[in-house]
Chain A
Amino acid sequence: MCRTDQVPNEPSDRDQDAGATDAAFTSLLEDSAEELYEQAPCGYLSTLMDGTIAKINNTLLDWLGLPRQRVVGRMRFTDLLSVGGKLYHETHFAPMLRMNGEINGIALEIKAAGGSRLPVLVTSKVKTSSDGEPILIRTTVFDARDRRTYEAELLRRHREAEEARRQADADRARLQEALEVLQQSLLPATLPAVPGMEAASYYHTASPDLLGGDFYDLFPLDGTRWAFFLGDVCGKGPKAAAVTSLTRYTLRGAAMHDRDPVSVLRTLNAVLHERYNSGDARYCTSIFGFLEPDGDRTAVQLASGGHPSALIQRADGSADYLPTPGGMLIGILPDAQFTTARTVLSRGDTLLLYTDGLTEARIGPGRDLYGEDALRDFTRAQPPAGPQALVAALTTLLTGFGDGLDDDTALLALGIPATPPAAVGDPLA
């Protein structure tokens, strides 16, 4: 109130004037302590120490929808509360009040007019006599509907956020699982046993988040022949994986009917070219071949489509490429040409197929290309101890490349052990 602007200047009159002004305002507002108590914007009640309601204001009676005579002297504070409110009052509210003499802003529900529940915030304070004995409890009751709505909204939003987060976690886990299953479907779980032969493989994906584009397989055809392939689909990720899947099953299917590796690659070329000719060009490189084991020797016939030449480690310690020059990328041209080659593996010989992750690796401080010559020299330096030993040595070599190995890498080695494997279960052994 800006009294100083409205009262006379004489200091001696100030106190008298102030009292008069307050009275004027009070009468102007038709307010009084009694009026304020009864019509306050909150509920007031006073109870005896046993909870019996001794005094209650009109505001609270209106909320309750009860006449004064049914409440005062007849009901206890807890009679106004919902069942949950009664319990909470008994277990927390009353003990805290007894202990501390006051309790602030406790959320309770009262049974309001019309049978509804009214959320309220309750504050109580114990009035004591001059000798410190508690004589009554004064309580204020605030309507907390707005606040409860706000809290409910906050809670709802919180639950929604929690649900969204849980859903996102579940989606991520499902996607990861799908990627793993898909990746595994692109590679054989185990390599089959080929009579008299040994096989070994290695697979490395440059990024665990991206499906790799390298693939290989080894599978039986008719009991006397086996087929194998290894290749590299351009690109990475789901689109490359779809090409890898199509490539793998096309090669497996074609191998059943074709005895010529070039025909098998031509079939794959036709399938990929037809599927991916328009727009999003997808292609792969691959070596596909047949094995015909016969005693100590295995005849190998293979064909290459744009893939680095296979390397053969011989029992005498030499190692040389099996050239397949001129074989083209598979899936680019309708009339692509593929190059075939034949060889025979004897005891101690190993045929190595690899993807360019190995030969294109960048090594040393100058990030120089590892290259085909280095791979041949490395293989020459290894004892001819069979496919598993060669793949183990190459795995160590690749691990040593560290960051230089920035592409996917697959290895498949097929050979005939220098000493025949122990003939387990052979009655003549």
Chain B
Amino acid sequence: MIPLKIHTRGAATGPVLEITGDLDHATAPALRQCLATVALTPGQCLVLDLSGLDFCDSSGITALLTARSLATAQGADMALAAVPANTTRILRITGLDRVFVLHPDTETATRPPDVPVTGDRPA
């Protein structure tokens, strides 16, 4: 078990949450609580940087979906960056690779909108 850590920072496109450790049944509530405190304005993009994610189970996937719902409800977009191979595999099995916007890394995900973005598509 690796404890979950969430570091929030701002980028030109909106808030970025760097998530490290295990995202599972025990730790998913912590991400939900953190998400409740994130301020989003319409047009922004909430980016979840998963490069430090060690483990993600179905509860973790639910938390990611909650993040997407919260962003959508506030008129903002949401994207996942640097998704580890295991989690990519789960997203593929569950068909969520076509629901989430996926970026290879946070730099791509937070590139200002006037620069053409590849791989992005409406959720």
Residues of A within 8 A of B (CB): 232, 234-236, 281, 283, 285, 305-308, 325-329, 332-333, 336-337, 356, 360, 369, 407
How far does the Cβ of A406 sit from chain B's closest Cβ, in whole Å?
Answer: 9
How far does the Cβ of A278 sit from chain B's closest Cβ, in whole Å?
Answer: 10
Residues of A within 8 A of B93 (CB): 285, 306-308, 356
Asked whether, in the complex, the Cβ of B61 is within 8 Å of the Cβ of A327, the reply is no
Asked whether, in the complex, the Cβ of B62 is within 8 Å of the Cβ of A235, the reply is yes
How far does the Cβ of A340 sit from chain B's closest Cβ, in whole Å?
Answer: 14
- List 17 extra interface pairs beyond A285-B94, A333-B99, A337-B95, CB under 8 A: A232-B58, A234-B61, A235-B25, A236-B25, A283-B62, A283-B65, A285-B93, A305-B95, A307-B93, A326-B95, A328-B99, A329-B95, A332-B96, A336-B95, A337-B98, A360-B57, A407-B58
How far does the Cβ of A353 sit from chain B's closest Cβ, in whole Å?
Answer: 14
Residues of B within 8 A of A (CB): 25, 57-59, 61-62, 65-66, 69, 86, 92-96, 98-99
**Can you show 5 pairs from A to B with CB atoms below 8 A apart?**
A234-B59, A281-B69, A308-B93, A328-B96, A369-B86
How far does the Cβ of B35 sit from chain A's closest Cβ, in whole Å?
Answer: 13
Which one of A327, A328, A329 has the highest number of Cβ atoms from chain B below 10 Å of its Cβ? Answer: A329
- By DSSP majority rule, is chain B's interface helix, strand, loop, or mixed? helix
Asked whether, in the complex, the Cβ of B57 is within 8 Å of the Cβ of A327, the reply is no
Shortest 5 CB-CB contacts between residues of A and residues of B: A328-B95, A306-B94, A329-B94, A234-B58, A306-B95
Which one of B62, B92, B95 has the highest number of Cβ atoms from chain A below 10 Å of its Cβ? Answer: B95
Residues of B within 8 A of A337 (CB): 95, 98
CA distance A337 to B95 in the complex (A): 8
How far does the Cβ of B67 sit from chain A's closest Cβ, in whole Å?
Answer: 11
Residues of A within 8 A of B57 (CB): 360, 407
Asked whether, in the complex, the Cβ of A234 is within 8 Å of the Cβ of B62, the reply is yes
CA distance A281 to B62 in the complex (A): 8
Asked whether, in the complex, the Cβ of B95 is within 8 Å of the Cβ of A327, the reply is yes
How far does the Cβ of A16 sit from chain B's closest Cβ, in whole Å?
Answer: 89
Q: Write the chain B residue with the least CB distance to A308.
A: B93
Q: Write the chain A residue with the least CB distance to B94.
A: A306
Asked whether, in the complex, the Cβ of B65 is within 8 Å of the Cβ of A281, the reply is yes
Asked whether, in the complex, the Cβ of B94 is within 8 Å of the Cβ of A328, the reply is yes
How far does the Cβ of B8 sit from chain A's closest Cβ, in whole Å?
Answer: 22
Q: Write the chain A residue with the least CB distance to B24.
A: A406
CA distance A281 to B32 in the complex (A): 12
Asked whether, in the complex, the Cβ of B69 is within 8 Å of the Cβ of A306, the reply is no
CA distance A325 to B93 in the complex (A): 7
- A327, A328, A356, A369: the one contacting B58 at CB < 8 Å is A356
CA distance A360 to B59 in the complex (A): 13
Residues of A within 8 A of B61 (CB): 234
Residues of A within 8 A of B58 (CB): 232, 234-235, 356, 407
Q: Write the chain B residue with the least CB distance to A305.
A: B95
CA distance A234 to B94 in the complex (A): 12
